[in-house]
Amino acid sequence: MFTLAEVASLSDIQPTYRILKPWWDVFMDYLAVVMLMVAIFAGTMQLTKDQVVCLPVLQSTVNSRVQPDTAGKADFTTVETTTGQEEESMRTVSFAPTVTPDILLSRATPSQYQPTESDQELKKEQKDSSGRKTNLDFQQYVFINQMCYHLALPWYSKYFPYLVLIHTIILIVSSNFWFKYPKTCSKIEHFVSILGKCFESPWTTKALSETACEDSEENKQRLTGAQSLPKYVSTSSDEGSPSASTPMITKSGFKFSADKPMIEIPSVTILDKKDGEQAKALFEKVRKFRAHVEDSDLIYKLYVGQTVIKTVKFIFILCYTANFVNTISFEHICNPKVEHLIGYTQFECTHNMAYMLKKLLISYISLICVYGFICLYTLFWLFRIPLKEYSFEKVREESSFSDIPDVKNDFAFLLHMVDQYDQLYSKRFGVFLSEVSENKLRGISLNHEWTYEKLRQHVSRNAQDKQELHLFMLSGVPDAVFDLTDLDVLKLELIPEAKITAKISQMTNLQELHLYHCPAKVEQTAFSFLRDHLRCLHVKFTDVAEIPAWVYLLKTLRELYLIGNLNSENNKMIGLESLRELRHLKILHVKSNLTKIPPNITDVAPHLTKLVIHNDGTKLVVLNSLKKMTNVAELELQNCELERIPHAIFSLSNLQELDLKSNSIRTIEEIISFQHLKRLTCLKLWHNKIVSIPSSITHIKNLESLYLSNNKLETLPAAVFSLQKLRCLDVSYNSIAVIPVEIGLLQNLQHFHITGNKVDILPKQLFKCVKLRTLSLGQNCITSIPDKVSQLLQLTYLELKGNCLDRLPATLGQCQLLRKSGLVVEDHLFDTLPSEVKEVLNQDTGIPFANGI
């Protein structure tokens, strides 16, 4: 037999699960405990006191009921009729009934016997004694009681406690199975753990307390902000809200957003760092749990299934139990068919537990009925509303967190169950589903971590000698950034929730902003400042939708760099349609995967001076839009898989520099058309597949720089050396074997690069280019350097490494501007120079190095 503690443990669940136990589950648990008590009580009574007492039904008793006036005679008749049977039983049973003297006299002389006076007195004594003798000993009574207990009693009377116990255990298991099933238990444990931490988190209390006092404190805070903030901060509702045409940060949906430029009470904003880290971890846990649980509805289905099982069980118990109420009786007739052992065929028995069992059965049926009605109510609740959907509408209205999303499936069902316990849990839990709440927490934690002193340590000077700050992978932009008023360049990278507040107006020196995968939002006042002061903007993105819309409204912007995917199949060039508002844009740099020049780039054609299209290897097919870019002075089409020089370029009358780097150009016969571009001074055709230079290149009279490195040239035509204005010539990494003697005609040549070719002899005419400042001769087959190198008095850079030299000419010391830092040669060759030459080369003149590339 189970103890009460052992049976009760079946319904024991972790105390933390109580928040998922609605009132009907709790009530049913108590009913199950009462039913357990009924089962245990009935079982105990049955084991200790349950018994049946039986007495044989005498034949004389039956006859006396028929003839009550001849009772005395009936006794003798009964004995006489049963004499033969008794004699037979005496022969078979050793403990046959004892025969009285009356019976013996009647057997001997039934007709002549005359009772004497002593016999009459004996009969009178027997008549005065109560009861009837059955002639059964104690063992026979024990035997017949046990026989009749099993034969006469209804089976339900004997097994009632066990049936109640089994049914109750099944109901208990059905009620708590969803807490034990492995696939649901883990989710429930995780949910309860997170819910408890969210309920007790200081951040929850802070967020809800701010919301509660927002309406009453709004005016007071606004006045406080107006008195304490500088003049550039707008405190009016019109100035703080974006206009219809300007996509700024909106304040609808939440009132205590960081977008509202106001000073908050320090006691409200201060949050312990440890509590802040725990709250951030909770946000991440809630996000992952939601993604995991919303995918299925197993918990909901399991709960519905166990409720249906309990309802079916209730109907089953009620149907068969009600039929047995009337079968439980105190008196029973028993016919054990053991006449050969007892001598009687029928017995009348009494069941001493009958009344108690009947009362317990009625009580059990009453409990089951109540239990069943609760099950029916549970089913009604389960199907009355869609429990696989949960709306935080009420929470959004009360807490002003308008962005709390609705949830579905098991997540929604668990929240519905929690609401039956206490709706405050869901309200506090909703705080951790709000992105607004998370962003505010991040902002507070960020400002605690990134103080003004720490940011000042990260400020550096870039190549342009400007003060630059680069922030990488932060949760937002620290407020202290806007206190760095002397900052020139601000770089924000991988900051998805970047917000530029009105305090940026303090940064009067800021002219360059970098947004790398950072779709920053700005307040209206901040936008007004950027619109009037920002000169250079770099935007790097993955999808065109990441480009902030306010970028296209910066009317004073001079330089715009866009790096990312613009050739989207669904949104072709969608991000560039508003360039017409950039009225002062001079430089547009697009690094993308374009297949054609976007027609809307022509919106900035009247004032655009430099256009850079840097593709990722995608072939640029349509370039007709270039014809309208008449004012472009610099054009770069890099890595666009061009096979010829586009004809649209020849219409750019103001073009001064053309860069067609990293394409697939094989022939440049169209170069003759460049003669119409009178202002063209720089032509870069490097990193292509050009095999020859046409003689028509001589028509480009004003060409000053020609870059043909990394091609397949084998010779340099004399026409190249007729370009008298040429100052820079780069033919590195080709297959040129000979430097023509006509190179001496280039009297204005300052930079000559022929590294990585097959040159073995340097013509003396090369050293007539006395204006040479940079001479790159590395990685060739040169065996000696002529002494006339001393004529290059302006030489500052000489590369000789990777040749077949065995010594260096001592005349290098006469190159007054050449120093060891500008001499690229093997160390053993440098050691061949005389000591006085080495001393001259080791002197530091402070002349900056320039290679002309």
pLDDT at 263 over 50: no
Position 70 scores a pLDDT of 38
Using CA atoms, how far apart are residues 757 and 731, in angstroms rounded to an integer? 9
Using CA atoms, how far apart are residues 66 and 77, in angstroms rounded to an integer? 14
Model confidence over 516-549: pLDDT tens digits?
A: 999 899 999 999 999 999 999 999 988 887 888 8
Position 270 scores a pLDDT of 52
Report residue 748's pLDDT band, with 50, 70 and 90 as the boundaries. Answer: very high
Position 525 scores a pLDDT of 92
Higher pLDDT, 736 or 398: 736
Percent of the chain at pLDDT above 70?
79
Position 71 scores a pLDDT of 37
Q: What is the mean pLDDT of residues 550-569?
A: 85
Who's near 696: CB < 8 A, 6+ residues apart? Answer: 669, 671, 672, 719
Contact between 455 and 60 under an 8 Å Cβ cutoff? The reply is: no
Backbone φ/ψ region at 275: left (φ over 0), alpha (ψ -120 to 50), beta: alpha
538 phi and psi angles, rounded to 5 deg: -115, 125
Q: Record the pTM.
A: 0.62
Q: What is the mean pLDDT of residues 269-290?
A: 75
pLDDT at 777 over 80: yes
Span of 414-428, 699-713, 760-774 with lowest mean pLDDT: 414-428
Average pLDDT for the chain:
79
Q: How far is CA 836 from the centre of its chain?
A: 72
Backbone φ/ψ region at 555: left (φ over 0), alpha (ψ -120 to 50), beta: alpha
Position 449 scores a pLDDT of 85
pLDDT at 68 over 50: no
Tokens of 101: 């003297």
Position 3 scores a pLDDT of 58
Model confidence over 211-246: pLDDT tens digits?
A: 555 544 444 444 444 444 343 333 333 433 444 444
Position 252 scores a pLDDT of 38
Model confidence over 661-712: pLDDT tens digits?
A: 999 999 999 898 888 899 999 999 999 999 999 999 999 999 999 999 999 9
Position 18 scores a pLDDT of 80
Model confidence over 490-499: pLDDT tens digits?
A: 999 998 888 8
pLDDT at 744 over 70: yes
Residue burial 216-242, b: 16+ Cβ < 10 Å; e: rest: ebeeebbebbbeebeeebbbeeeebbb
- Please give the single-letter amino acid code of residue 398: E
- Please give the single-letter amino acid code of residue 131: G
Position 514 scores a pLDDT of 95
Span of 31-45, 331-345, 643-657 with lowest mean pLDDT: 331-345
Position 237 scores a pLDDT of 36
DSSP code per residue over 225-244:
HHHHS-TTS--SHHHHS--T
Model confidence over 684-698: pLDDT tens digits?
A: 999 999 999 999 999
Q: What is the mean pLDDT of residues 319-330?
A: 80
pLDDT at 54 over 80: yes
DSSP code per residue over 531-598:
HHH--EEEEE-SSGGGS-GGGGG-TT--EEEEES--B-SSSBTGGGTTGGG-TT--EEEEEE--SB--
